[in-house]
Amino acid sequence: MAGPKRNKKDTDRKWKKRKKDEEEDSNNVDDPGEGNDEDGVPGAAKKNAEAADQGVKEDEFGAKDYRGQMSLKSDHASRPLWVAPNGHIFLESFSPVYKHAHDFLIAISEPVCRPEHIHEYKLTAYSLYAAVSVGLETHDIIEYIKRLSKTTVPDGIVEFIKLCTLSYGKVKLVLKHNKYFVESPFPEVLQKLLKDPVIQECRLRRAVDKEKETTLIPQVLENKGLPLFRSSQPVQTELPPPTDDEIKEVVPEDITDFYDKMDKADEDDDEEANLKTVSFEVNQEKIEVIQKRCIELEHPLLAEYDFRNDTVNPDINIDLKPSAVLRPYQEKSLRKMFGNGRARSGVIVLPCGAGKSLVGVTACCTVRKRALVLCNSGVSVEQWKQQFKMWSTADDSMICRFTSEAKDKPMGCGILVTTYSMITHTQKRSWEADQTMKWLQEQEWGIMVLDEVHTIPAKMFRRVLTIVQSHCKLGLTATLLREDDKIADLNFLI
């Protein structure tokens, strides 16, 4: 009897030691001595519109006097926005054009607080980057803010918007037929990049290109059909239209004239399928080099995954069940991700209980390539497995768990669910775990879902990116907030 008890104690002791090593390893990942957190971040992203507040007078209650910088419009009562020089925007929720203004602000800014009557938003570099990535143009953003604002828009805000949007989104990194291309509808931008010696070294010239002596490859984007998401009720893009007389009475004419233009933002994504672009091929081994160099040149690459034309990576047999019905806000978030038939990497923020798991499962079913799901704990791994079985046609044979307690055989699976600590663990592994890690690193993952992405330190996420190769990264969280400033790193790491 003594032998088995001693063996059990030894086993428990080893298990506790392994768990402790994993925790220490994950904690040490974010060592401030390892490199600079600002590496690979565009200069515009480091700027802050709130710097314009320096020198502004405040009263005894902390209120700021902007009357010297902004002039009130004569028809201000019909316009819904107050745009402050520090980048904060205040929206009247009782305005007749609230729905249009709300959708617009969600696209270009970050919410700060939203009580019943007045909603506060904040313009940031990353929110403007996100606006450009979904198809909004610089002049459209500035023009619509001017039309909705009760006052003249401060010059500093206009310059901040131009600084953050003119260069971003103009160049894309696209993977097609297992070949990487730098693509843009602006030939002059690619010509500028190709003049840089570092980018010239990253470019891949094939024999055919050398014979033709072509610098750029013109092409027309092909539309394979946009993914359709089923919702429990139609997504309302606007409130019930008032009569013409009511519009003329309460809404300025310049705002009503701009309605149609802004309502066609999603349609423009569809029309992008017929947009002529130019591109050049890039050496796959130098992808990180060209990404870093383009950031230094203030033209960050917008990564997109043309999963419908990816014939190299096999499709997995997965689809949503008929019982999986998306809510309107879930459908809307996914349309932003798959706006033009390609998968964009990004972060989706939804409240607790709003169905983030269903959004992640739907994204995996849309891409239909090998999917990797990263969680915080073993409990979350089990929950994600159940969510896949609940909402999709995936069964136990397709889903593989990789945790310290559950190590399913990965061969033949299409979905692998694991934890961040298992991927970034640097201590000695068991033979079984080591074999699974080798298999994981050899795969070309179509989509990587990052659960509770706000909890990931920047160094840990960089280590994940060096270990796992994924075409598309989707971050899910309920609170995109951290006590330190490292949450901003995720905007460009994802």
Quote the tokens at residue 129.
């980057």
pLDDT at residue 57 in the model: 72
Assigned domain for 413 exists: yes
Assigned domain for 234 exists: no
pLDDT at residue 488 in the model: 61
Q: Which among 275, 81, 358, 302 is positioned nearest to 181, based on CA atoms?
A: 302
Assigned domain for 420 exists: yes
More confident residue, 217 or 126: 126
Calpha distance 423→26 (Å, rounded)? 10
pLDDT band at 89 (very low <50, low <70, confident <90, very high): very high
Contact residues for 89 (Cβ-Cβ < 8 A; gap 6+)? 81, 82, 83, 105, 109, 120, 121, 122, 123
Assigned domain for 324 exists: yes
CA-atom Rg of the chain in angstroms: 25
Which range, 218-222, 342-346, 389-393, is most confident? 389-393
Assigned domain for 422 exists: yes
Contact residues for 444 (Cβ-Cβ < 8 A; gap 6+)? 312, 313, 370, 469, 471
Quote the tokens at residue 64.
């700021």
pLDDT digits (tens, 9 = 90+) for 461-481: 777 877 888 888 899 988 766
Q: What is the mean pLDDT of residues 13-25?
A: 52
pLDDT at residue 211 in the model: 46
Assigned domain for 448 exists: yes
pLDDT digits (tens, 9 = 90+) for 93-142: 998 889 889 989 988 998 888 888 999 999 988 788 878 877 788 899 99
pTM above 0.85, yes or no: no
Assigned domain for 9 exists: no
- Residue 189: count other Cβ atoms within 10 Å of its Cβ: 17
Which range, 51-60, 168-177, 209-218, 277-286, is most confident? 277-286
pLDDT at residue 52 in the model: 60
Q: What is the mean pLDDT of residues 26-39?
A: 44
Q: Counting beta carbons within 10 angstroms of the beta carbon of residue 389, is it exposed (0 to 12), middle (13 to 18) or buried (19 or more)?
A: middle
pLDDT at residue 37 in the model: 45
User: What stretch of H or E contains 371?
Assistant: strand 371-375
Asked if residue 22 has pLDDT above 60, the reply is no
SS3 294: helix
More confident residue, 35 or 180: 180
Q: Sign of the C-alpha dihedral, residues 429, 370, 342, 325?
A: negative
Asked if residue 492 has pLDDT above 80, the reply is no
Q: What is the mean pLDDT of residues 261-271?
A: 52
Q: Where does a domain end: 165, 198, 226?
A: 165
Characterise 58 by phi-psi region: left (phi > 0), alpha (psi -120 to 50), beta (else): beta
User: Distance of CA 22 to CAs 404, 407, 486, Å?
Assistant: 10, 16, 22
More confident residue, 85 or 459: 85
Contact residues for 479 (Cβ-Cβ < 8 A; gap 6+)? 349, 454
Q: Sign of the C-alpha dihedral, residues 491, 454, 416, 467?
A: positive
The count of domains in the chain is: 2
Q: Are 96 and 77 in contact (CB under 8 A)?
A: no
CATH at residue 477: 3.40.50.300
Asked if residue 67 has pLDDT above 50, the reply is yes
pLDDT digits (tens, 9 = 90+) for 228-260: 554 444 434 343 444 555 545 566 666 666 555
Report the mean per-residue pLDDT for the chain.
77
The whole domain housing 378 covers 313-494
Calpha distance 56→153 (Å, rounded)? 17
User: What stretch of H or E contains 335?
Assistant: helix 328-337
More confident residue, 292 or 207: 292
Assigned domain for 380 exists: yes
